[in-house]
A = this chain, B = another copy of it.
Amino acid sequence: MKARLTTGTLLDRESYPDGRKEALKLWVVLARCFNSFAQNEAHHLKAFDLTPPQFGVLETLAHLGPMKMCEIGMKLLMSGANVTGVVDRLEKKGLVRRALEAEDRRMFRIHLTEEGGKLIAKFFPIHAGRIEAFTSVLTSKEKRVLTDLLKKLGRAQRHEAEPERVQA
């Protein structure tokens, strides 16, 4: 196995300068961490007949209260047309409803229905429990350190990413 590292491979990570190697390694473990848990969650969501974007909308509404379409899009990084599609599917299942706003008749406010509220109230604690279990290999202090470092990293990325998104 070791012998193969330098044969037949077009890109050889070992040949990068240390700083770059370190950064790549960090990204690889971050992505793996996210993907394995997220895929697992997506699997659990299917038992509730939900997709990750649909769960994202329900969760956001449950935590922040009724929102406009465009607010949902901004919060979840979706384009307007995509929000329409996801909300359509949730509405068809009876989990959310569009309520006309008196002040400005161009917009709606999306509400959870009673059924949608029940669903998220049932699913979210289970989801949270899995997150708690998943992170339980870390001590409380490690979790705090990790959270702080990720916060720092995420802030940096958002500052770079936003101008790109605007001009695109």
Contact = CB atoms under 8 A, between A and B. Distances in A.
Nearest to A137: B156
Contact of A146 (B7, B64, B146): B146
A30 B27 contact: no
B128 A29 contact: no
A68 interface: no
A27 B37 CA distance: 10
B65 A8 contact: yes
Interface string A90-109: 00000000000000000000
Contacts of A151: 29
Q: Give the size category of A's interface with B.
A: 35 or more
Given A121-B11, A137-B153, A128 B62 contact: no
Chain A interface, >50% SS class? helix
Interface in A1-26: 4, 7-13, 16, 19-20, 22-26
Interface of A: 4, 7-13, 16, 19-20, 22-27, 29-40, 43, 59, 61-66, 77, 112, 117, 120-121, 124, 128-129, 131-138, 140, 142-147, 149-158, 160-161, 164-165, 168
19 contacts: A11-B121, A11-B124, A19-B132, A20-B131, A25-B147, A26-B146, A31-B38, A33-B153, A33-B157, A34-B34, A36-B158, A37-B161, A43-B168, A133-B160, A135-B153, A137-B156, A138-B149, A145-B149, A146-B150
